Every structure is written in structure tokens, then in C-alpha cells.
A and B are shown apart, each in its own frame.
Chain A
Amino acid sequence: MSEHLDHEAGDEADSVTGTERRSFLLEASTGLIGVCLGVGPVVAGLWGFVFDPFRKREIPTKYNTGSGDVEGGYYFVATTDSLPEDGTPQRFEVISDKFDAWNFIPRQPIGSVYLRKLPEDVEIQLEDGSKKVLKKGEIDCLQTTCPHAGCSVSYDGGTNALLCPCHNSEFELNGSKRTVGGKDNPSPRSLDRLNTVLKPIADGDNMQIYVEFMEFYTGIHEKAPVS
């Protein structure tokens, strides 16, 4: 078989230079067409694979009332009445409509937060390092997702801290990291604080608490919203 080939190859090589040049053009164009043919279907497929997860979904008309619970990313969570005066953090679910690819599921929990009515003035540290004072009576809201690897923290009355069960991160009630018995806290930053807006209800002092709920990337020093 190889003898046969060598003989043939020899023939080709013996021919005039003109044939060789033609052959190159032929081979190049063949290769090009072949590559394009392979690329076509792959690009069609990759288009959806790569770009679809970045698409913004529109809320179906029936639920898109433009008013009510969700206003510009703020979700109604609780009323100020439901928070104890002594500043014990209370955990609340955040309810919203959810898209799961082809399913639209209204009124689903999308996350949870700790709300606290501050019993006294509290100093907190912002992301840029500056300090700020939250006044007594103000509402403080912390995301329950631990910034380390994403587990949920919970309030421990005994140690008056927010504890993460996965890798032992501990946080003060104002969200800052706590070092316990010399052991370093694996969380890269303090608990993520969320903005709140209060809306008065018709009678009395009771107010509705709206939380600007969002998720943040875990495992990094910066507090960067997931987008």
C-alpha cells in the first residue's frame, strides 16, 4: 500500500511547478470550507450557551403591577412592630416572584435577612473603611449569606452573635467579624448590609420595612453584587 502511495506521490512531485501551486490553492480552499462548515453549527449552539444566562427576563404582565411589594429592587419584608425593642435580630424571608427558565413562580422565597431595631447608637464600618453611626431606633438589615462560602448564618442568643455553621465564622450583631479565642475568622469581610426604606402605615408608629435585597459574591474581600 505504501509502495503504491510513494509511486503516486512521486508522480505528483515530478509534475510541473504549475500543478503544485494549483494544488496549494485547492488544499487551502478545501481546508477553509471545511473549517467554516465545522464552525457554523458550533457558533449557533454556543450563542445560546454563552449569551442566554446574561439575558434580562421580563415579568409577565399579570404580575407586573408596577406597585406593591417590589419597587425598584426593594422588597417588603416586615413591619417595625414585629421587631423587639431590645435589638434582638429577627430573621425574615424575602418573598418575590421567581423565574426558573421556563417557569414563572409567583411568591417564592428568594433569600432571607436579619432585621434589628437598634436599642442604642451603633457604630459601623462601611466598605471604604469610613465609620458611620446608626442611631437608636433605626432599622439595621444584614444579609444572612455568609461572605465566606455562602452558608446561612443564624443568631445565637448565648454568645450574642451571628454564627455560621460551616466554617465557624462569627459576626457581631452589627455584622463585623469577631475573632474568637485567637482563631481567625475565615470570612473575607463582614456580613453584607442591605439598604432599607421605611414606609408609614396609615395609623400610628408602625412602618413597613422595605429591603433592597440582593446577593453578593462570596469568597472575595469586596462586597460586589451578583449581576
Chain B
Amino acid sequence: MRILRQLFEFTDNRTGIQDLTKEALYENIPGGSKWRYISGSMLVFAFATQMITGTFLAMSYSPGSATAWASVYYIQNELSGGWLLRGIHHYMAQAMVVLLPIHMLQVVLEKAYVKPREFNYWLGLVLMLITFGLGLTGYLLPWDQKGYWATKVATNLMTLPPGGAAMQKMVVGGTEYGNLTLTRFFALHVLVLPGALIGFLVLHLALFRKHGITAHSSEKHGDEYFWPKQVLKDAVGCAILFALIFWIAIAREGAELGPPAEPTKAFDAARPEWYFLFLFQLLKKFQSEFVGAIVVPGLIFGFFFMMPLIAKLRRGHLINVVGMGLLFLGAGYLTYEAMQEDNYTLSDARLAEVRESSNPEDKVELEKHDKAARFHRDKEAAERDYNRIAALIDYQGIPVTGPLDLLRNDPEIMGERLFKAKCASCHAYDDPSTEGIELGEFAGPEMPEGWDAESGSDYGAPNLYGFGSVNWIKNVLTPEKIKSVDNFGATAHRAGSMVDFVENGLNGDFDDQITKIAKALSAEAGLVYEPLTDETDAIAEGNELIQNGDWNDYGTACTDCHSYKENEEIGGGPDLTGYASAEWIRQMISDPSHTSMYGYDGADNNDRMPAFNKFLTEKEIDLLVQFIRQDMKVLKQ
């Protein structure tokens, strides 16, 4: 159309855009366009994609220790298309790291790094370092456990070279990781490093056009212009790259997000992103961290920088190619080795063998297995914590104080940690209906070697899983079970009056009565997972049975030794009113010397249960109580 042509000429006369475009597009490629030339353009495309996805992510991300994780959770789970945005950004970053050695290899093999192109090659190395910096700074931003601990290691290593401590303070924003670390890393990741990358990229491209392509004309293929054939090859390469990343992002439903960072809880499964694993592995090979983290990588990068100068020597180019090849292979091998170490699992038979053996080599194998097992256990626990926090967020939203608040007030997560620290040395917490110890269960102390029920020491305490449930109470009233280690078996009470009563007074077929009694007492507990709303008759009958003794072989009523409801007189045994209720358990944990816990002999009748009101805050005891009772295990839908 005439008007378009006029508009175009109007613009061109004043800007010279046609000549500019011609110069950009009609660059001559001796020997024609080639597929192996596409790696550079693919890197530029990958970076452009990162800038676009990064910009949109920055519209929803908030850098601050109480908001970072929450905003990433929002992007991942609520923002329309947020998960895809995050997925593309995460996997394209890794694509850039993969493309870098490919591009470098192609450039070196093509001899495009020697005179006069040394500076351009060095600019390329700088671009590679900036890309690694982008990966490092980006990994911290979600402020999840893995990002936090992985980056902490990196910033700790930063103190090794001279002036390192000062550098660390500047990067971290102080002596501790916190708000300022996030704001600084965010500014670096979003403004400083991309800006530097663009700057160096412009220089890199300008120098590249100045010197022209290294390729040579050949007879087989005529020379071709950049446009359209090379551009087409570049575009196809980029399209395949994008399709691949898009597919990975969809298949994995976006990038991973771990549980929120906890500065006081070390994370055994902390690992840098896979492309830094070779450095992580390298570090383990050297006694001195300084050598492993600074000297060796420094030497390797020094070699890369020296390569154009080495090329001047006889066979210099060959040395460079072989050296570079070996280094890449070495890095690849170290990456593989790191992954193998994390997956070092012995078969059950072999595991039993090494546990028994006293051979030092076997001990080393056992250590490797245990280390890998801890890694996997922590990973599993992290996933479980994340899922629990997601459920809590559905249930009550994220408070302004941040996701850690949710975590620290959750009986399931915190109660379990407290149980492990304070109770598990004596008490098991193990669901008898499931085999083995699941995550969240505790095995209780190991039986001492050669222990027997008659003469063995008091080494344990009851299994508290399902405490106060009908089944749990029934087990106490069952002759075959009362002396198991799940009940009184590992305690001094195995020689006490309750065991005597059950073993000798309940020997007949009293299943019906003890079921009713168990239901009546369980109703006192009021457990969320066993509401007993349909059992009013059984409960009423149970209450009757508790208060009269005609039904058992001893002719003893429970209330002969236990106070219960109207029978207020404290007996030799615990008060059964409100048995296993929150208040009852709170009393037992806080101060078991109270007569309502062990009867009128109080502290004298108590075996080894300490009074935890000296060691735990009220809040902590509350969390334990709710954990034991599983009050918050299922959040209302």
C-alpha cells in the first residue's frame, strides 16, 4: 500500500533504519550457514526469556524474610499461570548453564578464541561468570530451606580469600542472613547482574561483528547471508529449546518450592543446584577449604583465561582443546559422583553385615550409607513439612508475620520436634498397626542387651501413640498386653498393683466389660479422631462398671483405687476424671508429682517421669499435648 511505503520512506530518510537492518541481517557467512553456529543465539534467546519471565515474576515477588517464601508460594499456587512462569524461569536458567560449555567448546574448536579474538573470548568468560552469579543469587530468593542453606555455604566460603570477611558482610548485608540479604540478592539478581550481562553482551556482539566470522569459504558450500538461513537455523534451535523447557516445566508442574527457611534448623539435604554440584564435590576432596573452594577453581578458571596465550605455543591449541575437554569431563564426573554419593544405598543383607563388622573399611561403607540415608530422610521430611504447611495455609492463610509463624505454632510439626527432643528417649510414639517407623514416629529406647522382665532395669515408658483411645485403654486392661513394653513393661509399675489386678483379676472373658470401660474413659479424653458419639449407651454402662466391682475375678471396682467423677477420694492410682484430656496430659507433663497423677503417694509412686514445667514453656507443653492427642492432625475441610 502506498501509504505504508510513504511512512517507511519518511522514517528511513530520518533514521537510516534500512541500512542498519541490512547491515545487521546481511552479514556474510563464509562457507554458508551451519547448525553448529546456533549456540550463541540460543544463549541470547535464553537470556531474553529469563528477562521476560523474570520481569513478570518480579511483579509478584516480595524480597523480605517474612514475605519472600509467601510471595513465591502465591506465585506457584495462586497467581494465574504463575507456576508456568516460575517453571520456565527455573529450567531456562539451567538450559543456559548447559549451553555455556557447548558454546565455549564450539568457539574453541573453531579456533575463534585466538588472535585477534582474544578479548571477545575473555568477554565470553566474563559472561559465563555473570550467568553463574545469576544462578547463585536467584536460588536464594524463594527463601526456602534448600535455597537458604545452599547459599549459606557459598557465602561462608566467600570468607576464605583475603578480604573475604568484608566481602561476605557486604553481600549478606550484615553478619546474619535476613531481610537485607534478600534485598541485596534481589537487587543483584534483577538489576546489577542483568545490567552487567547486557553491557558485556553488547561488547561481545560488537567485537564479534568487528572481527567477522572465523569460518572459511569453501567450494562445497557457497557463502550465505545471516538472513535468512542462519537466522532460520538459530530460530529453529531456539524453538526446540523453548519447546523443551516448556514441556519440562509443564511435566514437573513448575519449579520446586521447599518448606520455608529456618535459620536454626540445619538441613541435611541442602545441596546447590545441580550445575554447582561439581564444586560441591570438589570441596570434599581437599582437607583445606581454601584450596578446594578458592585455589582449585581459581586455577581452573585461570587456565580458561590463559588459553588464548597458550595457543601461541607449539601445539598450544591442542593442549587447550584437550585441557578443556578433560576439565569438562572432570566436572561432569564430579557431578555424577556427587549424585551417586547421595544415593549410596546398601542392600538389607549387606547393611546388616557392615553393622556387625568391626572392619574399618566396612565402617566407611556404613558411614556412606548412613549419610545418604540422612539426606533422603531430610528430603522426605522437607516434603512432608511443605505439604503440612500448604494444608495449614488452606486452613488459615499466611499471617503477616510470615509462614514460619504457622510452622512454629503447628502441633504436628513443632510437637513432633519437641517429642523427639524431650520424650522419645523414654517413650515410643509408634502406630502398632503399621510396620516399621514412619516419618513422625519414634521407636522409643532400645531394650538393653539380655534384658528380661523379671530382673531387667526400668529403661522405657509407654508407647503414647493413640493414648486415650479405646484400643489403647483396652490394651492396659488386657492381661497379655499390660506388661508389654508398649504399656508398663519397661517401667517400675510392672511390679505394681495395676498389673497385679489385670493379670489376676481380669483373666476370664471380660471383653465386653473392658470394652465398655475403655469407651467410657476414652469419652473423658474427647479425642478428635474417635468422637464416640454413637456410644452413649456403652459409655453409660462403662461408667457403671467403673464404679462397681461385681463383674471381675477380684471383685474390685476401679474406684477402689482411682478417684473418678463423684468418687472424689484420691486413691493409690491416677484420677480417671478427664483421663487423657488436654488438661490431664498437661498436668502429667508439667508436674506428675501431683496426687491426681500417681495417687496419694504422689512423687513416690512416680517411676521416672520428670516435671517438665521446669524445662518447657507453657506454649511448648501445649504443643506436645496437641501432638500426642492428634488434635490438629486433620484440619477441618
B242 at the interface (CB under 8 A from A): yes
Report whether B399 and A103 are in contact in the complex, using a CB–CB cutoff of 8 Å: yes
A to B contact number (C-beta, < 8 Å): 126
A133 CB–B CB distance under 8 Å = no
Do A37 and B28 touch across chains, with their CB atoms under 8 A apart?
no
Bound-state Cα–Cα, A76 to B182, Å: 41
Known: A27-B228, A30-B228. A44 touches B81 (CB 8 A): yes
Q: Which residues of A contact B395 (CB under 8 A)?
A: 60-62
A42 at interface, CB cutoff 8 A: yes
**Bound CA–CA A102/B232 (angstroms):** 43
Assembly CA distance A30 to B237 (angstroms)? 12
B388 to chain A, nearest CB (A): 15
Cα separation A131 to B404 with both chains bound (whole Å): 56
Q: Check if B232 sits within 8 Å of A29, measured CB to CB.
A: yes
- A33, B636: Cα distance in complex, Å: 50
Partner of B80, one of A9, A30, A51: A51
Question: Residue B56 contacts which of A26, A46, A55 (CB distance < 8 angstroms)?
Answer: A46
Pair B88/A44 contact, Cβ less than 8 Å = yes
Given A62-B395, A102-B67, the answer on whether A45 and B85 have CB atoms closer than 8 Å is yes
Do the beta carbons of A104 and B235 come within 8 Å of each other? no
Determine if B53 and A44 form an interchain contact, defined as CB atoms under 8 angstroms apart: yes
Of B71-79, B334-342, B586-594, the one touching chain A: B71-79
A201 contacts B by Cβ under 8 Å: no
Interface-central residue, A62, A63, A106, by most chain B CB under 10 Å: A62
Bound: A49/B79 CA distance, A: 9
Question: What is the number of residues of chain A that contact chain B, defined by CB distance less than 8 Å?
Answer: 38
Chain B neighbourhood of A48, CB < 8 A: 56, 59-60, 75, 79-82, 85
* Complex CA–CA separation, A96 to B75 (angstroms): 25
B 370-399 binary contact with A (CB < 8 Å = 1; else 0):
000000000000000000000001111111
A33 touches B56 (CB 8 A): no
Q: Which of B49-103 contact A (CB under 8 A)?
A: 49, 52-53, 55-56, 59-60, 62, 67, 70-71, 73-75, 78-82, 84-85, 88
Interfacial residues of chain A within 42-72, with CB under 8 A of chain B in the complex: 42, 44-49, 51-52, 55, 60-63
Q: Is B619 an interface residue (CB 8 A)?
A: no
Q: Is B229 among interface residues, defined by CB-CB distance under 8 A?
A: yes
CB <8 Å contact, B74 and A102: yes
Contacts of B60 in A (CB 8 A): 48, 52, 101
Check A47/B394 contact, CB under 8 A, given A33-B236, A41-B53, A61-B636: no
Judging by beta carbons under 8 Å apart, are A103 and B79 in contact? Answer: no
Closest to B52 in A: A41
The reply to whether the CB of B290 lies closer than 8 angstroms to some CB of chain A is no
User: Using a CB–CB distance below 8 Å, which chain B residues touch chain A?
Assistant: 22, 26, 28, 45, 48-49, 52-53, 55-56, 59-60, 62, 67, 70-71, 73-75, 78-82, 84-85, 88, 223, 225, 227-229, 231-232, 235-236, 238-239, 242, 246, 393-400, 635-637
A-side residues, CB < 8 A to B, are 4-5, 8-9, 23, 26-27, 29-30, 33-34, 36-38, 40-42, 44-49, 51-52, 55, 60-63, 99-106
Minimum-distance CB pairs A-B, first 4 = A104-B397, A45-B56, A47-B81, A102-B74
